[in-house]
Amino acid sequence: MPYKWPEKRQVIGTKVPRLDGALKVAGKAKYSYDRNLPGLLHGKILRSTVAHGKIVTLDLAPAEAMPGVKAAMSIKKVGDIVRFGGDEVAALAAETEEQARDAIRAIKVAYESLPPLASEEAGLERNPPPPPQTTEKGLKIEEAFAKATVTSEGFYGVAVITHVCLETHGLVADWKADDDLVVYCSTQAVGNTRNSLKNHGPFKAIANLKVTCETPFMGGGFGSKFSADLQGTVAAELARKAKRPVKLMLERDEEHWAGGNRPSLFAKVKAGADKDGKLVALDVESYGTGGNSTGVDMRLPYIYLPEGHRIRNRDVNVNAFNKRAFRAPGSPQACAVMDQMMDDLAHAGGWDPVEFRLKNLPGQGNPLVNLSPIWEKELKMGAEAIGWKQGYHKRGDPAAGPIKRGLGCAINTWGGGPGGAQASCTIAPDGSVEVRCGTQDLGTGTTTLVPIVAAEILGLEIKDIQGKIGSSAYPDAGGSGGSTSCGGVSLAVGVACMKALEQIFAKAAPALDAQPGDLEAEGGKVYVKAAPAKSLSWKQACALLGAQAITAVGDKADKEIQGMAASGVGGAQFVDVSVDVETGQVRVNKVVAVADCGLVMNRLLCESQVYGGVVQGLSLALFEERRLDPRSALMLNPDMEWYKLAGHSDLGEIEVHLLDYPERGVIGIGEPPVIPTQAALANAVTNAVGVRVGVLPITPKRVLDALAKK
Amino acid sequence: MKAFTYKSAASEADAVAALGPGAVALAGGTSLLNLMKERVIEPSVVVNLKSVAGLDKIEAAGDGWKIGAGVTIAALLENPQVVKGYPALAEALETVGTPQIRNMATLGGNLCAKTPCLYFSHDGFACLKRGNGNSCPAKDGDNEFSAIFGTVMPCVSVHASSASPALIALGARLRVAGSGGARELPVEEFFVLSKDDPARENVLKQGEIVTHVILGKPAGKSATYVALHKASHDWPTALASAALDMGEGDLVRTARICLGGVAPIPWRVQAAEAALAGKKVTPETASAAADAAMAGAAPLSQNAYKVKVAHTALKRAVLLAARGSWK
Ligand SMILES: Cc1cc2nc3c(=O)[nH]c(=O)nc-3n(C[C@H](O)[C@H](O)[C@H](O)COP(=O)(O)OP(=O)(O)OC[C@H]3O[C@@H](n4cnc5c(N)ncnc54)[C@H](O)[C@@H]3O)c2cc1C
């Protein structure tokens, strides 16, 4: 019989505060950074001070002679090429962090400089230029434009941003024995972090190597922390050499240089609509960089599908660290291009932007057609909540004075769904319940999710469940990425508990003079559905197990649980801004975010994910940008002073509306809410000031430059 | 950070004596420590001024006030007489950094802090001002936040201090102590634009410290307008401080106007002051004064937008000073 979620839910979908919230607020949660093991050494990495060059000298001896140094190693060798400012060259471990820093400076290193590529434009102009990759679908592009009665052209873009995880990347490596390594790693994938150390790199050859990754808490990854990474492997190597535990967490500048970044995307776009306001043609010439050897994550055309489109993209290289996955890879950039284009086209045709979007929602032939009713609902709800009818005006606020107000919107989609996950549920004769799952809490609330699911299935309260996650020693679960943790973990835990409960029912049924299938667990009791008075307390029922605890395993891959989860969400966001056209400063008045996420597991933390997405989206829309020196390609703002991040006073009011579609099962909400904020804000700015700024982040310079060109 | 010797000075004389070659004064450390971590400044001795007796006092002095260089920005903002008597100063201080920074940062440190230039303040760049390069990398590099005035000078960084333009507009004076004793000078004369020594932005000599800021009689009308990108925790895009001495019939007798964030030192704009003299303050005259000031601007490749921002700041500061609102 296929498993399914209970019809009447007591815990799932309620508002459950983070179980570890108090620990975090009180500073009692131990992060990787906080693992100060006895005998701990501090690791540091020597990083290249040129963005492109060949190593011509590398001598560790002077560093090895420095006070406190216990182990040193080269990462690259003479003759190797460094490809970005901050590229890893060598590393060492010393008794104190200060000694390690000083010793790093004692390493003798010299580079022969090679010409760096310092910007996308420089990357485009290199010889030979990067070839375009072309996709063309539907009508031939000329034929598609022949159908258009209205066209618009624009240039839209999003700069490279970095992940800026509050807890930087890194780990503490502790060899318990020659073949037993424990790492405390800031990771969003404990299993893959273990695998990356065990199956790849320098330790692969160690026979019967056991690696365990422990991550009870971590401070943000956003897609940039799926393995031990180079610095993790280096820490483990140094620890092995020194026979002492080594902590190697990146410093803030290193985090910017080599912790991860999101590719840029800049697009020259021409689009056309027919007289009925249907998008018919889209021609895009774009470029972007994913670092020194990778390109953009191309997701154009995004959502709206014209009758004919052509995308010609060039992946350009710059001498900077390669991209990492970042919260909904490729989508915020695609949305920023597509939804700004939609706004300009609506303007050109004289159509209301919301109406224009409604008219162009995916129809037959578009794989997203099933989401259209959701978007329709969301666009209407969002428009209502932001006050579109009253607040929207034609492009350019006619109000006197320099403060101009405007509204804008954008829509998004993302897959999500259940990721690979296994879990075990152990019930002891004393009634205690322990659920183990080798997932991790990326900050999304997985620690709280596990007991929610178990309590629901077993008819208990959250406090009755011991949820154990954040260790690769627990049953394998995938990395927290793609908005798939909630789905995968919910299914694995849910089914593990359902299977364990079946065993309890089997024991309890004779005592209640019933069949196992007649029983229900609810409110701390096991009872006969048809005669609720016939019941046992949970403890009484578990006591029937005798001396042995039982353990059941749930696996998301189990065929019998299909239907408990789904994939594919739609969302819409509306932004209300005021722009000072004499200083270029944008102030956010309000954001309305409407998000769909199937079956809501924890309403509080689900909403919290949407708030977080909007906050990050606003920060990206207004402030965040990696600045490379146009000559050296070295990063000019590897800090939190000039790498600007939104603070509370920058955010305005944020209103979240969650749509419930419990019949769709669990989907996941981590990534989608960050996608449309940038485009919606850009559209609001244009509505306010009357010109398209186009490229994000929308800084005073970009606003005033755009106005000056008007 | 390079290892250093730490000395806590108990008195002015102590501090002056300790500030020998290779030594640097430490106040709140909100600027200095960043530069030391980046190894932009590598002192062998760090002399703590927070321990100097009396440096943290705000005292009445004649018609005005004598403010110790060690008074924190937060303490100044909590002083009702200072806030009420010198709105230009209070409005400038309100936006400095964050509450945490304002709790640590001192007025003396604010006057003496080094530029937040992207190149100067980060290790890894050859920079004329830092002394490890022979040209200014911002000139034909990333100069979005650089100077728009004085750009013919060898270094195009902007001065860090938000408070100084207000102090200049208010006609404040400084007391400086050194081995030869103490002297007083107008804040305006404290700052120097030096072709020969781009490393310096003020007249302090080795071993000298700022001990006090002396504010005269509260000015009739004064204001500062700070244009920011972020609402908080950001450097001003540009700011302007104005102090107006009003004559009969609401006419400006004299004006003192100074810009911040636009030049290697606080940038007094006498052309704007002259444009306002004898006029009534209206949006038109304020804008004309800003036009006069901006006639001298020479923006770099990427920062023409700052001319507009500075223009706006000046216009609004003047309107705020005269009418309490710029709108
Ligand atoms: C994120 C951030 C944002 C900031 N935003 C602003 C801003 O908007 N506006 C602004 O003005 N500043 C800003 N600052 C800079 C700085 O924090 C302030 O200027 C602060 O007032 C410096 O004071 P302090 O006491 O911390 O100085 P310190 O860091 O201790 O010293 C700064 C310099 O002054 C010297 N010095 C200190 N006291 C004396 C003295 N009495 N005599 C002689 N020399 C002395 C020191 O040797 C050092 O060179 C910001 C800083 C940060 C980190």
Q: Are residues A312 and A400 in the same domain?
A: yes
The mean pLDDT of chain A is 97
The three-class DSSP label of residue A297 is coil
Per-residue model confidence (pLDDT) at position A560: 83
Residue A16: count of CB within 10 angstroms of its CB = 20
Q: Do residues A580 and A703 both lie within one domain?
A: yes
Mean of the per-residue pLDDT values of chain B: 97
- What is the C-alpha to C-alpha distance for residues A175 and A209, in angstroms, rounded to an integer? 11
Same domain for A375 and A451? no
Q: Would B204 be classed as within a structural domain?
A: no
Confidence (pLDDT) at A43: 98
Residue A478: pLDDT band with limits 50, 70, 90: very high
One domain, residues A520 and A490: yes
Pair (A617, A698) in one structural domain? yes
For the Cβ of B97 lying below 6 angstroms from any atom of ligand 1, the answer is: yes
- Encode pLDDT of B58-79 as tens digits: 999 999 999 999 999 999 999 9
Ligand 1 atom, smallest distance to A641 CA:
1
- B104 CA to centre of ligand 1 in angstroms: 9
A270 and A239 share one domain: no
- Selecting from B118, B230, B327 the residue whose C-beta is nearest the C-beta of A401 gives B327
> Which range (A443-457, A463-477, A558-572) has the least confidence?
A558-572
Instruction: For residue A325, tell me if it sits in a domain.
Output: yes
Q: How far is A66 from chain B (nearest CA, A)?
A: 14
pLDDT tens digits, one per residue of B78-100: 999 999 999 999 999 999 999 99
Mean local confidence (pLDDT), A503-527: 97
| pLDDT at site A252 | 97
A137: in domain: no
Is the minimum distance from the CB of B160 to ligand 1 under 6 angstroms? yes
Contact assessment for residue A289 and residue A320, using Cβ atoms and an 8 Å cutoff: yes
* pLDDT value of residue A235: 98
Ligand 1 atom 21, closest CA: B110
Which residues of chain A are within 8 Å of residue B237 when distances are taken between CB atoms? 583-585, 700
A80 CB within 8 Å of a chain B CB: no
Q: Is B40 in the pocket of ligand 1 (CB under 6 A)?
A: no
Any domain includes A233 = yes
Boundaries of domain holding A380: 261-416+566-709
pTM assigned to the model = 0.97
Segment A308-319, tens digit of pLDDT: 999 999 999 999
Task: Check residue A416 and give left, alpha or beta (phi > 0: left; psi -120 to 50: alpha).
Answer: left
For A138: left if phi > 0, alpha if psi spans -120 to 50, otherwise beta; the answer is: left
- Name the pLDDT band for A559 (thresholds 50, 70, 90): confident
| B152 shares contact with chain A (CB less than 8 Å) | no
A210 and A265 co-located in one domain: no
Instruction: Give strand pairing partners of A436.
Output: A424, A468
Total domain count for chain B? 2
Domain with B230 in it: 221-322
Are residues A303 and A370 both part of a single domain?
Answer: yes
Q: Give per-residue pLDDT as tens, A95-123.
A: 999 999 999 999 999 999 999 999 999 99
Chain B: residue nearest A651 by CA?
B231
> Is B242 within the bounds of a domain?
yes
User: How many Å apart are CA A638 and CA A256, to the nearest integer?
Assistant: 5
For helices A677-689 and A603-622, angle between their N-to-C axes, nearest 10 degrees: 50
Give the per-residue SS3 of B45-90.
EEEECCCCCCCCCEEEECCEEEEECCCEHHHHHCCHHHHHHCHHHH
* pLDDT for position A563: 84
pLDDT band of residue A435 (cuts 50, 70, 90) is very high
- Asked if A542 and A676 sit in the same domain, the reply is no
Task: Quote helix, strand, coil % in chain B, to nearest 5.
Answer: 30, 20, 50
Digit-coded pLDDT (tens) for A1-43: 689 999 999 999 999 999 999 999 999 999 999 999 999 999 9
Residue type (1 letter), A447: T
The residue out of A249, A282, A312 marking a domain boundary is: A249
Question: Do residues B38 and B122 make contact, with C-beta atoms less than 8 angstroms apart?
Answer: yes
Say whether residue B287 is in contact with chain A using an 8 A CB cutoff. Answer: no
pLDDT per residue as tens digits for the range A530-543: 999 999 999 999 99
Nearest atom in ligand 1 to B101's CA: 17
Ligand 1 site-directed mutation target among B101, B107, B114, most atoms within 8 Å of CB: B101
Q: Find chain B residues with C-beta within 8 A of A102's C-beta.
A: 3
Q: Note whether A412 and A426 are same-domain residues.
A: no
Asked, for residue B147, whether it belongs to a domain, the answer is no
Centre of ligand 1 to C-alpha B110, Å, is 4
Contact A114, A81 (CB under 8 A): yes
Task: Report whether A74 contacts A60 (CB < 8 A).
Answer: yes
The SS3 call for residue B293 is helix
Confidence at residue B220, expressed as pLDDT on a 0 to 100 scale: 78
B101 Cα to the center of ligand 1, angstroms: 9
N-terminal to C-terminal alpha carbon distance within chain A: 66
Residue B238's closest chain A neighbor by CA?
Answer: A583
Please tell me the predicted confidence (pLDDT) of residue A671.
97
Give a yes or no: residue A560 inside a domain: no
How much is the pLDDT for B17? Answer: 97
**For range B301-325, the mean pLDDT:** 98
B146 near A CB under 8 A: no
Do residues A202 and A217 both lie within one domain? Answer: yes
Q: What value does the mean pLDDT take over residues B184-213?
A: 96
Which of A206, A224, A249 is the last residue in one of the domains?
A249
User: Omega into B99 within 30° of 0, i.e. cis?
Assistant: no
Average pLDDT over residues A472-487: 96
CATH number at residue A355: 3.30.365.10
Chain-centre distance for alpha carbon A192: 17
Atom of ligand 1 nearest to the CA of B112: 34
Looking at the structure, tell me whether residues A270 and A400 fall in a common domain: yes
pLDDT tier, B219 (very low <50, low <70, confident <90, very high otherwise) = confident
pLDDT greater than 80 at residue A572: yes
A212 Cα to chain B: minimum distance (Å): 35
Does the structure show a pLDDT above 80 at A562? no
Using pLDDT thresholds of 50, 70 and 90, give the confidence band for residue A351: very high
Q: What is the reported pLDDT for B318? A: 98
Q: In the listed set A218, A249, A280, which residue is the last one of a domain according to the structure?
A: A249
Number of structural domains, chain A? 3
Q: Evaluate if residue B55 carries a pLDDT over 90.
A: yes
The pLDDT, as a whole number, for residue B157 is: 98
- The Cβ-side half-sphere exposure at B62, using a 13 Å CA radius, reads 8
